[in-house]
């Protein structure tokens, strides 16, 4: 099944096969609702069919709204509160930087390390076959 951003079915390829609906809920083809743990979601209306059980503690003033009207960046798999899922955690990964960006802008590049200074010192006795493996 393919969905739009609010859960409306765009392409229903195999109606009898897929029990999982929009955002991981259980889709009921008879009622056209998607069942989550705490309540049902109506994709045609783009909202829940009942009030938020935790009321305003969910962070939305609309007690029937689905993830503060931002289903592109949020998901609510339990029916209680939304979870931000589209942004990766902020971590430093120098191998993911753009190719034209230096790892430490404004600082000189670190000196090149010679192979013998590294942790792995080749001895010439390396084997690609695991020890104890029988073929």
Q: Could you tell me the pLDDT band of residue 2, with boundaries at 50, 70 and 90?
A: confident
Q: pLDDT tens digit string along 42-86?
A: 888 888 899 988 888 877 888 888 888 887 788 887 877 788 875
Give the CA distances from residue 116 to residues 37, 100, 112, in Å, rounded to whole numbers and listed in that order.
58, 29, 12
Res 110 pLDDT > 70: no
Q: How far apart are CA 34 and CA 79, in angstroms?
A: 11
Least confident of 30-44, 82-96, 121-135: 121-135
Q: Domain boundaries in the chain? A: 2-84
Structural contact between residues 9 and 43, judged by C-beta atoms closer than 8 angstroms:
yes
Percent of residues, the chain, with pLDDT higher than 90: 2
**Which pTM value belongs to this model?**
0.50
Q: pLDDT tens digit string along 10-29?
A: 777 766 666 777 777 888 88
Res 38 pLDDT > 60: yes
- Strand ranges (E), the chain: 2-3, 9-11, 26-28, 33-35, 40-42, 47-48, 74-75, 83-84
Q: Could you tell me the pLDDT band of residue 88, with boundaries at 50, 70 and 90?
A: low
Q: How far apart are CA 104 and CA 134, in angstroms?
A: 48
């Amino acid at each position: 099944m393919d969905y739009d951003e609010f859960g409306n079915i765009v392409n229903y390829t195999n109606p009898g096969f897929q029990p999982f609906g929009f955002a991981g809920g259980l889709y009921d083809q008879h009622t056209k609702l998607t069942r989550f743990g705490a309540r049902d979601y109506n994709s045609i209306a783009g909202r829940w069919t009942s009030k938020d059980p935790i009321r305003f503690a969910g962070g939305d003033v609309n007690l029937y709204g689905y993830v503060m009207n931002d289903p592109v960046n949020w998901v609510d798999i339990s029916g209680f509160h939304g979870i931000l899922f589209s942004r990766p955690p902020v971590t430093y990964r120098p191998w993911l930087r753009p190719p034209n960006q230096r790892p430490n802008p404004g600082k000189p590049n670190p000196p090149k390390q010679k192979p013998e200074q590294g942790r792995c010192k080749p001895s010439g006795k390396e084997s690609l076959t695991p020890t104890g493996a029988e073929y």
